[in-house]
Each structure stands twice: as structure tokens, then as C-alpha cells.
């Protein structure tokens, strides 16, 4: 009896558990299994893959120099630098320390107090004033020098050297630093312009030998060429040197210089003859009055100029007028008329008796 009751209780408990178990359809079961398999494959793929590209390309922020509370004060380093200018190795060491401690300042191009002479100047100004070529070499090689910076007296390094009577140092800078000959000088556009207008062939020679400048090329942003300056100011030595190396000059600038020379032909024919001899292409060019150099020479009774022009190849058949007829209106000089007539006879093969 007791065993039968125990069997009945166990059967009832099992039936109630079976009724509580949730049921799912065959479709639901398939979905769950498929989804689970997909997730397993995805997880496996991610585990075996490399990091995403956008993570690899993420911007790395550059870290600023760590502030050093024990760094030497800038004012102290500046004073130490000026006091050590005679020893270029010490200068380099101090500058390196300044750039390490204060990297946002362009120390080599800063202005420093000149306790001895007053004012402020760059390290290159100091080096030029003391003729310290070793320091100049060090600064040129290791640092990016700004040669346009002026000292407190408004002198760049070339002007400072000239003001101190140290033209040799100015020329040394030109030979050492690319572009130094192109900085303004004494109110002129460049140092080359100054050399041209001053008729300083020796300076032009140094500039040419430096290898930094090609005379055939126009100077960037310059309003006038050095050769135009030399011709206009009658600096014939400088002009000859520039012409020798085919220095640039625009056609308009050349004609302007020639017209100015023609205007004073009566008083001084040398400028016009100089330009004509170097640029024979303008032999027959006429001024605003419609006169070329031959007619101007005839008009001003310049027998020597007329003779020179004939000897230089002036061809009466290359002009659009009859030279003898025009000359008869312009001059009463029988010598000039006779000279022109002799040229006509020679051109026509007639022996004048």
C-alpha cells in the first residue's frame, strides 16, 4: 500500500514539470541554431582579423617639449651668448641650449644688446663688426640666417659693414651667403645695383665669381636691371663687364638709355657711341623727332661722329631716306656734305675726283 502511494506522487510531480517546459516550433529552432552558428563565425573572424584601418590612421598629437623648471633663464643665456661671441664653439653650444629650452624663438636672428657700441644687432651683425669669419662660417652652415634683418640703426649686415669701413667683410658675406648680393644697399634695390651705378667692376667680379647669381637672368621683383643703371649713369666699366656676361636688360630700358644719350649727343657723344658700339642692332633707331644718330650728328655738325658711323658700318642704303638730301637741309658744313657725297660715290662705285 505504501509503495503504491509513493509511485503515484512521483508520477504526478513528473507530469507537472513536463507541462512547464516551453515548446518551440521547428522553424524557431532552426533560426536560433543558424543565428548562433553565424555569430560564432563572426566572432572567430574578428578574433583573427587585424585592427581596423581607421584606428591605424588615427592622428597622433605631437607632444610639446616638457617644461623644465631648472632651465637657465633666457635673459641669462642671451647675455652669456653675447659675451662668448669670440669663441664660435661656445656660441654654437649656447645656441643649441637656447633652442632646446626655448624652441619657439628664432634665437640666431634675434636682436641682442651691444653693450660696447650701443643699440641692438643680430649675431651676424656682431660677427661682421668684429671680422669674425669663423663665426660667420658657423652661422652660415648650421643656421638659417635672415640677412634682411636690420639692426636698431636700420642697417642690414652689408650696410653695417660699409658703415664701419669694412667693405672686405661685405664682399666676404657675398661670397659665403647665397642671395646676399640681392639685398637692398644704400637706398638701391640691391648691392648689385650699387656696384653698377658706382662703376665698381671689382665688386661685380666678386659677385660673379661667387656663383650665386646669373647676370643673364633678371633680378626677381627688381624694377630696373643693373645694366640699365650702369648705362644710364654712364658707368662704362661696370656696363662693359655686365655686357661681357650678357647681362639682362629689357628692350624698352635699352632704348630709354640710348634716347637719353642721343639727347646730349651735341655736348658729349661718348655715351651714345658706347651704347651703339655694344648694341649695333639699334644703329638705325630714331628718336621721337624721327632722327637717328647719323642725322643728329649731321644736325649738330659733329664731323667726327659722322666719320665714326661710316667706319662702323653705317649703310646709307639701309635707311628710308636720302642721307645727302636730308643733310643738305640740316647742315651748312661742307666737310660733312663732302664726306657724305664721298660715301655715296663709294657705294655706287664712282671714283670721286
Cell numbers 573572424: residue: 45
pLDDT recorded at residue 169: 97
Angle between helices 167-176 and 133-142 (to 10 degrees): 30
Cell numbers 656676361: residue: 245
pLDDT recorded at residue 71: 81
pLDDT recorded at residue 45: 52
pLDDT recorded at residue 18: 45
Give the C-alpha separation, 132 to 88, whole Å.
9
pLDDT recorded at residue 351: 56
In angstroms and rounded to an integer, the radius of gyration of the C-alpha atoms of the chain is 45
pLDDT recorded at residue 237: 97
- Residues (pLDDT < 70) of the chain are 1-69, 349-353
Question: Strands (DSSP E) along 159-314, which ranges?
Answer: none
pLDDT recorded at residue 67: 57
Q: 72-177: which CATH number, 2.60.40.60, 1.25.40.20, 3.90.1660.10, 3.50.50.60?
A: 1.25.40.20
pLDDT recorded at residue 69: 66
CA distances for 218 relative to 85, 172, 229, 245, 248, angstroms: 38, 23, 13, 13, 6
pLDDT recorded at residue 11: 56
At 43-102, the pLDDT tens digits run: 455 445 554 443 344 454 455 555 566 788 999 999 999 999 988 889 999 999 999 999
Give the C-alpha separation, 198 to 190, whole Å.
13
Give the C-alpha separation, 303 to 266, whole Å.
11
Q: Does the CA dihedral 77-80-81-82 come out positive or negative?
A: positive
Amino acid at each position: 500500500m505504501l509503495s503504491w502511494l509513493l509511485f503515484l506522487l512521483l508520477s504526478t510531480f513528473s507530469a507537472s514539470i513536463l507541462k512547464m517546459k516551453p515548446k518551440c516550433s521547428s522553424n524557431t529552432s532552426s533560426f536560433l541554431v543558424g543565428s548562433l552558428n553565424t555569430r560564432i563565425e563572426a566572432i572567430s573572424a574578428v578574433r583573427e582579423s587585424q585592427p581596423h584601418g581607421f584606428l591605424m590612421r588615427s592622428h597622433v598629437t605631437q607632444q610639446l617639449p616638457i617644461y623644465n623648471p631648472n632651465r637657465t633663464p633666457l635673459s641669462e643665456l642671451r647675455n652669456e651668448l653675447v659675451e662668448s661671441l669670440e669663441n664660435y664653439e661656445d656660441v654654437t653650444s649656447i645656441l643649441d641650449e637656447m633652442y632646446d629650452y626655448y624652441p619657439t624663438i628664432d634665437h640666431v636672428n634675434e636682436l641682442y644688446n651691444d653693450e660696447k657700441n650701443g643699440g641692438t644687432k643680430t649675431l651676424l651683425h656682431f660677427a661682421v663688426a668684429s671680422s669674425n669669419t669663423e663665426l660667420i662660417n658657423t652661422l652660415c652652415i648650421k643656421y638659417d640666417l635672415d640677412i634682411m634683418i636690420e639692426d636698431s640703426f636700420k642697417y642690414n649686415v652689408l650696410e653695417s659693414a660699409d658703415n664701419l669701413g669694412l667693405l672686405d667683410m661685405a664682399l666676404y658675406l657675398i661670397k659665403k651667403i647665397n642671395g646676399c648680393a640681392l639685398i637692398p644697399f644704400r637706398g638701391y634695390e640691391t648691392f648689385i645695383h650699387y656696384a653698377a651705378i658706382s662703376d665698381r667692376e671689382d665688386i661685380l667680379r666678386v659677385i660673379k665669381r661667387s656663383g650665386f647669381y646669373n647676370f643673364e637672368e633678371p633680378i626677381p621683383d627688381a624694377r630696373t636691371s643693373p645694366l640699365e643703371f650702369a648705362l644710364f649713369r654712364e658707368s662704362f666699366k661696370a656696363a662693359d663687364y655686365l655686357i661681357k656676361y650678357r647681362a639682362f636688360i629689357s628692350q624698352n630700358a635699352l632704348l630709354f638709355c640710348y634716347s637719353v644719350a642721343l639727347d646730349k649727343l651735341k655736348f658729349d657723344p661718348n655715351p651714345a657711341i658706347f651704347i651703339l658700339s655694344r648694341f649695333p642692332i639699334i644703329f638705325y633707331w630714331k628718336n621721337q623727332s624721327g632722327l637717328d644718330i647719323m642725322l643728329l650728328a649731321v644736325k649738330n655738325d659733329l664731323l667726327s661722329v659722322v666719320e665714326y658711323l661710316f667706319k662702323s658700318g653705317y649703310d646709307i642704303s639701309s635707311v628710308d631716306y636720302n642721307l645727302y638730301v636730308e643733310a643738305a637741309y640740316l647742315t651748312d658744313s661742307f666737310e660733312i656734305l663732302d664726306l657724305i657725297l664721298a660715301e655715296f660715290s663709294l657705294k655706287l662705285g664712282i671714283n670721286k675726283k
